[in-house]
Amino acid sequence: GAVVSQHPSRVICKSGTSVKIECRSLDFQATTMFWYRQFPKQSLMLMATSNEGSKATYEQGVEKDKFLINHASLTLSTLTVTSAHPEDSSFYICSASSPIGGRFYNEQFFGPGTRLTVL
Amino acid sequence: GQQVMQIPQYQHVQEGEDFTTYCNSSTTLSNIQWYKQRPGGHPVFLIQLVKSGEVKKQKRLTFQFGEAKKNSSLHITATQTTDVGTYFCAGMQKTSYDKVIFGPGTSLSVIP
């Protein structure tokens, strides 16, 4: 399978600061990347779908001004949590998939996740 | 909107016993995927089912996709301690961007 990296793996920040999380597909071109949020012992909640070169599509209830997503290249998407608050503390996971006809079409490869703690 | 449900939420089995988790979607799916997440890890893709009534096997794991493409199951024969983890089904509904919706998962514990 393909490899997706995420950085940082863990971040602790003060309330009101912004945090940027990077998601990279290391060995394939990911035209689509997904950002999820996972609370302890719960499922993955899709936050947004990011297509390279276009604006992200946010799920209902996810504030686009709060969670800024940029997908500037075929191997990199970033999620910025702006003015973070304690309720934003969670496990954020990205995944990547490749285009139609690609080797990994429809299969999602997940990054290792980022544990965000807002004090 | 689309909802994906999964039962049971938790399952504790003795090593060697079989295990089954069931997944149900409120809408017809274009395909269904199964993932496994070990404690402290990230989800790992197991398989994708596309055709109505499809059955696929991976060693001790058997995956089925219902005829109506709204339900699926994962069956593990003779569980081992390495099977411990949470199993998620994820239904894909054709949209402009092929998003998947994850079920709540079934957490499997295997007692040695």
B87 pLDDT higher than 80: yes
| Region A17-41 average pLDDT | 90
Nearest-CA residue of chain A relative to B31?
A106
Distance CA A6, CA A77 (A): 10
Convert the pLDDT of each residue in B70-86 to its tens digit: 999 999 999 999 999 99
* Contacts with B100 from chain A: Cβ below 8 Å: 34, 46, 108
- Given pLDDT bands bounded at 50, 70 and 90, which one contains residue A104? low
| Region B83-106 average pLDDT | 85
Query: What are φ and ψ of residue A34, in 5° steps?
Result: -115, 145
Facing B99 at nearest CB: one of A42, A46, A93: A46
Q: How far is B45 from chain A (nearest CA, A)?
A: 7
- Residue of B42, B95, B100 to mutate for A, most A C-beta atoms under 10 A: B42
A101 pLDDT higher than 90: no
B82 three-class SS: helix
Instruction: Report the b/e string of B16-30 with b at 16+ CB within 10 A.
Output: eeebebbbbbeeebe
Q: Is A16 left (phi over 0), alpha (psi -120 to 50) or beta?
A: left
Please check whether residue A7 is in contact with residue A92, taking contact to mean a CB–CB distance below 8 angstroms.
Answer: no
| Region B95-111 average pLDDT | 85
B2 pLDDT higher than 80: no
B29 pLDDT higher than 60: yes
What is the 8-class DSSP label of residue B84? Answer: -
Predicted confidence at residue B97, as pLDDT, reads 60
Nearest-CA residue of chain B relative to A114?
B42
- Put simply, whether B12 touches A (Cβ < 8 Å) is no
- Give the amino acid at A43: S
Nearest-CA residue of chain B relative to A100?
B98
Distance CA A110, CA A115 (A): 14
- Tokens for A57? 């599509």
A94 pLDDT higher than 60: yes
Query: What are φ and ψ of residue B82, in 5° steps?
Result: -70, -10
> In terms of DSSP bridges, do strands A10-13 and B61-65 run parallel, antiparallel, or are they unpaired?
unpaired
Query: Which residue shows structure tokens 């989800």?
Result: B43
Please check whether residue B26 is in contact with residue B106, taking contact to mean a CB–CB distance below 8 angstroms.
Answer: no
Nearest-CA residue of chain B relative to A32?
B97
- Given pLDDT bands bounded at 50, 70 and 90, which one contains residue A78? very high
Q: How far is B18 from chain A (nearest CA, A)?
A: 23
Using CB atoms within 10 Å of the CB of residue B39, give its burial: 0 to 12 exposed, 13 to 18 middle, 19+ buried: exposed
Kindly report the average pLDDT of chain A as a whole number: 89
A39 pLDDT higher than 90: no
Q: Residues of B numbered 23-82 whose beta carbons fall under 8 angstroms of chain A's beta carbons: which are they?
A: 31, 33, 35, 41-45, 48
Facing A43 at nearest CB: one of B45, B99, B102: B102
Higher pLDDT, A1 or A79: A79
- Given pLDDT bands bounded at 50, 70 and 90, which one contains residue B42? confident
SS in 3 state form for A50-82? EECCCCCEECCCCCCCCEEEEEEECCEEEEEEC
